C-alpha cells in the first residue's frame, strides 16, 4: 500500500521530532520523499534543506544522530511526527537538548530556560588564523578593490551576451538581487551549523562566502555605492574578530537585508557593510582566512579573462 501523504507544492512536508522517552519536542524540520525514504530505510532521521536544496542527515557532523523509534502522520496527512532516541544528548546545534530552549517573555525578549549540553565552539568551530598583520590587511583591501572594479566594469560595459553578471547589472533588479543575497546568507550560516555540507566546513565556507560577496557586490555596483562607503575589507575584519553569537548573526542578517531594501544610498552602504562582516564571522568560525573567499572569486575571474 502506497503512502498518501500530502507534500506541499514544492514537495516538502513538515516534521516534528520528539524524544521517545521524555516526549520532549526536540526540533522541527522538513522532508521530501527521498529524505523520508532514507529515514525509513536507514533508521536515522534525514531532512531536506530548502535553502540549499539538499538532503542532510541529522548529526552527520556533530555525531548527535537521531535513531527512529516511530513515524506518525497527522489527521490531514500533511505533517509527520518522528519519535527518536537522541544520541549525543542534544538536538540543537546551539548545544541544547531541544531547539526550543528559549521562552518568550511579556516584553518580547527571550529567556534561556535550559542548560547547554555541549559547547558548539568545540564541536563546530576551529581556531581562526591570525590576520592582524598590516600586510594581510593591505592584501585584503587590494583584493576587494580589484573584485569591485570588475563588477563596475561589467556594469558600465554591456557584455550581457557573454556574461550573466553583466546582464544582471544591466537589469538592475534590486529586489531579485536582494532575494538571492538572503538565500546565500542562510546557506553561509547553515555551513557553520552543520546543516549545509558539500565538501567540508572550510571549503564550503569559502564557496558560500564568495557567493554572499557576489550578490553584495552586485547590489553595490547596481546602486552606485562607492567602495569606501561600505568598506568591505574593514567589514570582513570586523566580523572576523566579532565572535558573534547565533542570535547576533540572525539580527545582523535581518538588519543587512532591511537596510539594503530601503534603496537609499546610506542605508544600502550600511547593509552591505554588515553583509561583508557576516562573511568575516563565518571565516573565523570555520578557521578560514578572511581573504580566502575573495581569492576564490579572483581565480574564477582569471579563468574567464576578466582579471590578469
Q: Which residues are annotated as a binding site?
A: 75, 92, 99
- pLDDT tier at 223, thresholds 50, 70, 90: very high
pLDDT at 46: 96
CB of 272 closer than 8 Å to CB of 222 = no
CB of 25 closer than 8 Å to CB of 18 = yes
- Where do we find the cell 582569471? 302
- Over 50: is that where the pLDDT of 150 sits? yes
pLDDT at 51: 60
- Over 70: is that where the pLDDT of 221 sits? yes
pLDDT at 122: 66
Among the listed residues 231, 206, 236, 226, the one whose alpha carbon sits nearest the alpha carbon of residue 298: 206
Beta-bridge partner residues of 61: none
pLDDT at 94: 77
Average pLDDT, the chain: 89
Q: What is the DSSP letter of 20?
A: T
Report helix, strand or coil for 51.
coil
Q: Which residues contact 22 (CB under 8 A, 6 or more apart)?
A: none
What would the pLDDT profile of 248-274 be if each residue is shown by its tens digit? 999 999 999 999 999 899 999 999 999
- Over 70: is that where the pLDDT of 130 sits? no
The dihedrals phi and psi of 44, each to the nearest 5 degrees, come to: -130, 145
> Higher confidence at residue 289 or residue 214?
214
- pLDDT tier at 49, thresholds 50, 70, 90: confident
What would the pLDDT profile of 90-122 be if each residue is shown by its tens digit? 998 778 899 998 898 888 777 889 988 887 766
- Where do we find the cell 583591501? 141
Class assignment of domain 13-123?
alpha beta
pLDDT at 121: 62
In percent, the amount of the chain with pLDDT more than 90 equals 61
Q: Which residues are annotated as a binding site for Zn(2+)?
A: 75, 92, 99
- pLDDT tier at 1, thresholds 50, 70, 90: very low
What would the pLDDT profile of 3-14 be if each residue is shown by its tens digit? 789 999 989 999
pLDDT at 125: 53
CB of 68 closer than 8 Å to CB of 45 = yes
Cα Rg of the chain (Å, integer): 21
CATH 3.10.20.810 in the chain: give the residue spans: 13-123
The set of cell numbers assigned to 288 is 578560514
What's the pTM? 0.61
Angle between helices 232-240 and 201-222 (to 10 degrees): 150
Average pLDDT over residues 186-200: 84
Per mean pLDDT, which range of 16-20, 136-140, 173-177 is the poorest? 136-140
Amino acid at each position: 500500500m502506497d503512502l498518501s501523504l500530502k507534500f506541499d507544492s514544492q514537495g516538502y512536508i513538515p516534521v516534528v521530532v520528539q524524544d521517545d522517552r521524555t516526549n520532549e519536542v526536540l526540533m522541527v524540520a522538513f522532508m521530501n520523499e527521498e529524505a523520508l525514504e532514507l529515514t525509513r530505510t536507514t533508521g536515522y532521521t534525514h531532512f531536506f534543506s530548502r535553502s540549499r536544496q539538499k538532503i542532510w542527515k541529522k548529526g552527520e557532523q556533530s555525531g548527535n544522530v537521531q535513531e527512529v523509534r516511530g513515524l506518525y502522520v497527522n489527521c490531514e496527512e500533511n505533517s509527520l511526527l518522528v519519535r527518536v532516541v537522541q544520541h549525543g544528548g542534544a538536538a540543537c546545534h546551539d548545544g541544547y537538548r531541544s531547539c526550543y530552549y528559549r521562552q518568550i517573555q511579556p516584553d518580547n525578549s527571550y529567556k534561556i530556560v535550559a542548560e547547554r549540553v555541549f559547547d558548539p565552539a568545540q564541536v563546530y568551530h576551529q581556531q581562526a588564523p591570525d590576520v592582524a598583520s598590516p600586510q594581510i590587511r593591505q592584501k585584503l583591501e587590494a583584493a576587494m578593490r580589484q573584485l569591485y572594479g570588475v563588477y563596475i566594469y561589467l556594469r558600465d560595459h554591456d557584455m550581457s551576451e557573454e556574461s550573466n553578471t553583466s546582464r544582471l547589472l544591466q537589469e538592475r533588479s534590486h529586489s531579485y538581487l536582494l532575494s538571492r543575497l538572503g538565500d546565500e546568507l542562510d546557506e553561509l550560516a547553515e555551513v557553520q551549523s552543520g546543516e549545509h555540507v558539500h565538501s567540508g566546513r572550510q571549503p564550503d565556507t569559502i564557496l558560500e562566502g564568495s557567493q554572499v560577496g557576489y550578490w553584495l557586490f552586485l547590489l553595490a555596483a547596481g546602486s552606485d555605492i562607492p567602495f569606501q562607503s561600505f568598506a568591505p575589507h574593514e567589514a570582513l575584519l570586523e566580523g572576523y574578530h566579532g565572535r558573534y553569537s547565533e542570535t547576533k548573526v540572525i539580527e545582523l542578517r535581518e538588519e543587512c537585508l532591511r537596510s539594503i531594501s530601503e534603496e537609499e544610498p546610506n542605508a544600502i552602504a550600511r547593509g552591505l557593510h554588515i553583509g561583508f562582516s557576516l562573511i568575516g564571522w563565518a571565516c573565523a568560525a570555520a578557521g578560514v582566512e578572511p581573504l580566502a573567499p575573495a581569492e576564490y572569486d579572483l581565480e574564477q575571474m582569471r579563468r574567464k579573462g576578466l582579471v590578469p
